[in-house]
Amino acid sequence: MELLLDNLRNAFFKGKHGKTRDVALPDKHLLVQVVATLSVALLAGRAAFAYSIEPVAIALITVLLMRSKANIYTLPFILIGMLSVRGTSYAYLGDLAAFFVCAVLFLLPVIRKFPLALRALAASAVMVSVKVLYYLWAGLLFLYDGMTMAVDLLILLAFIYVFWLFFHVLSKGIGAGRNSLETVMVFSIIVLLSVGGLAVMQISSVSVLHVMAFLIALAIGYGMGPAEGGLVGIICGFLIMLMTYDTPALAGILGSCGAISGLFRGKHRLVVGICYVGLALAFGMLKGFPELYISIYAPVAAAAIFVLVPRRIMDQFVKLLSLLRQDDNYYELMAKRKVKEQVKEYADLFERLALCSGSVAADGYHPARDVMTQQFKGMAKSLNKIATDLSTEHQPLRVMKKRYDLQIATATYAKEGKISGDSCLCTPIDNVNFLIALSDGMGQGLRAAEESNLTVNTLYNLMKAGF
């Protein structure tokens, strides 16, 4: 019946020349990529004007148009994000002009042949030239001094590389030769920048950026180790310093807290959160008097979120970090996925064989054909169950306290004269198995020795034969 339905479906969807029409389903990876690109475009545009880091928008459009001119669809989203918070910048017209000039420039056929380095230099030259002309026209050139120009160039070049690596990983995936620490740092920057694009500065006197930075440093350190947690914390601190003109001490505090959280990797999350908050507050009081470098609520809120996250979500996050690090867990997951795909292919093959060997034939019903069909269906069902079992992940039970005791003793054996009734055999069976057999003969002396020797030799021969 299923075979007949498949034939009927193909008959309805036939195209020209008798070819079967393919029903194209949307690519999930492409949809995720488009949604992520549009989200980053909108939030990065808002963050660029909300925190006076305008070169971020220019860096984003530079990378997107380098990847494909079809990414021009992101231009309205970046503009909507920038214009939605235009009141936070008094010189936004100059930044908008530089953004438009770069977008038009990178659509030219000659410029499209430039590599990333030349595009970065062209974007830098266009940004500085347009902003200088705008400030000259507005009579505010004294505001755009050499230090401000250098900071703009630094932000532009840094974020060109950040966006390039982010979209490369988003489209190509994580390759075997990719530096895991570099990838984690880039994604941490994107997450923190996206949170800044929400333009929610504070919630009840708690800085949202500070909470997210402490949470990122804590989670990365707990999932990957002290080195990764410390470097990610330093990067987040410097990014907040550029966005909010905060104290440079925040980078050191976040770096130290991220490194300490890595030392507690694998421990109970409540213990990690308490130690993390204590260390953050201790480093915040380095001034020597009660005034803190940071608000006490930021690390407390980050630790509370970290502790209250469900265990399943945290396990998935640690698994994602294993994918980024490409450690032993990563290769185990990849091997399990390949085996599962192979088993699913075998199951599909048996299902097709069951359809092809159905009892509906030209000569009518045949019992042997029906039995063969049922056997194929049984094999397909068994293989599908095996594939499902491969997808199941069993969490090991952690023994909280010692439940056994080790006692050392000396064993003796009985013998008659110089002959023992016990026999043992230690020998390899094949390349991977090893046999250790011990037999206690009945009685003592030579008779017991012969009986026990026959027992261990018989056991060896049986196992050698495959029993």
Place of tokens 């690596």: 165
Among 461, 373, 456, 395, smallest CA distance to 421 is for 456
Residue 85 is which amino acid?
V
* Closest by CA position to 256, among listed 286, 239, 234, 224: 234
For the chain, domain boundaries? 26-173, 177-326, 328-390, 417-464
Given a contact cutoff of 8 angstroms between Cβ atoms, the answer to whether 65 and 72 are in contact is yes
- Does pLDDT of 416 surpass 50? yes
pLDDT band at 164 (very low <50, low <70, confident <90, very high): very high
Alpha helices in 293-431 (DSSP H): 297-308, 311-325, 328-356, 367-391
pLDDT tens figures, 318-361 = 777 777 766 666 667 677 778 888 888 888 887 887 777 665 55
- Average pLDDT for 102-125: 87
Q: Name 413's bridge partners.
A: none
The strand pairing partners of 426, in sequence order, are 436
**Average pLDDT of every residue of the chain:** 77
Q: Where are the beta strands (DSSP E) in 241-290?
A: none
160 — pLDDT class (breaks 50, 70, 90): very high
pTM of the model: 0.66
Give CA–CA dist 384/402, Å, rounded. 40
Side-chain half-sphere CA neighbours of 203 within 13 A = 11
Q: CA 222 to CA 143: how far, in whole Å?
A: 43
- What is the pLDDT, as a whole number, of residue 159? 92
Per-residue pLDDT for 395 more than 60? no
Two structure tokens written together for 70 = 């079809």
Query: What confidence tier does 199 reach under pLDDT thresholds 50, 70, 90?
Result: low
Q: Which CATH number fits domain 177-326: 1.10.510.10, 3.40.800.10, 1.10.1760.20, 3.40.120.10?
A: 1.10.1760.20
Highest mean pLDDT among 58-62, 107-111, 283-287, 428-432: 58-62
